[in-house]
Amino acid sequence: MWFEGISGQAGVSRIAKGGNVTEGLTDRLVSAEREAGFHERDMSSFERERIDLEHRVNRMEAELDSLRKRRLEAYARWWNARDDRDRARHVCRKLRRRIDKARRRSNDA
C-alpha cells in the first residue's frame, strides 16, 4: 500500500538506526508535502482542462442540436417541394389528356 512504512515501529526503527528520528521523519514529511504539491498542481491543470473541455462539449452539443433542427427543416422543405412537383406533374398529365382528347375530336370532325 502507498502508506506502508509511514507509521508503525518498523518505519521508526529503520530511521532510528540511521540517525535522529525527528530529523528522518521531518525529511519524509518535507518530501511527502513536496510530492503533494506536485500532485496539487497537476490536479489544478487537469481541472482547468476538464472545465475547458466541458465548455467545448456544451458548445458542440448546442451546435449539434442546431444542426439537427436545420436538417429536419431541410427535409421538410424537400418533402414539400416533392409534393408540389408531384401535384404539378399530375396537372400536366390531366392537361395533356385534355389536349389529346380535344385534338382527336377536332380530327374526327
Coil, helix or strand at residue 4: coil
Q: How many domains does the chain have?
A: 1
Is the model's pLDDT at 16 over the cut of 70? no
Is residue 83 a part of any domain in this protein? yes
pLDDT at 15: 47
Is residue 27 a part of any domain in this protein? yes
pLDDT at 7: 57
CA dihedral 11, 16, 20, 23 (to 10 degrees): -10
Is the model's pLDDT at 9 over the cut of 80? no
Is residue 19 a part of any domain in this protein? yes
Could you read off the pLDDT of 52-78 as tens digits, one per residue?
999 999 999 999 999 999 999 999 999
Is the model's pLDDT at 99 over the cut of 60? yes
Domain that holds residue 19: 9-108
Question: How far is the C-alpha of 34 from the C-alpha of 45, rounded, in Å?
Answer: 17
Is residue 17 a part of any domain in this protein? yes
- Read off the C-alpha cell for 81: 417541394
**Structure pTM?**
0.56
Is-contact 11 5, C-beta < 8 A? Answer: yes
Is residue 3 a part of any domain in this protein? no
Is residue 26 a part of any domain in this protein? yes
Is residue 73 a part of any domain in this protein? yes
Is residue 1 a part of any domain in this protein? no
pLDDT at 91: 98
Is-contact 13 24, C-beta < 8 A? Answer: no
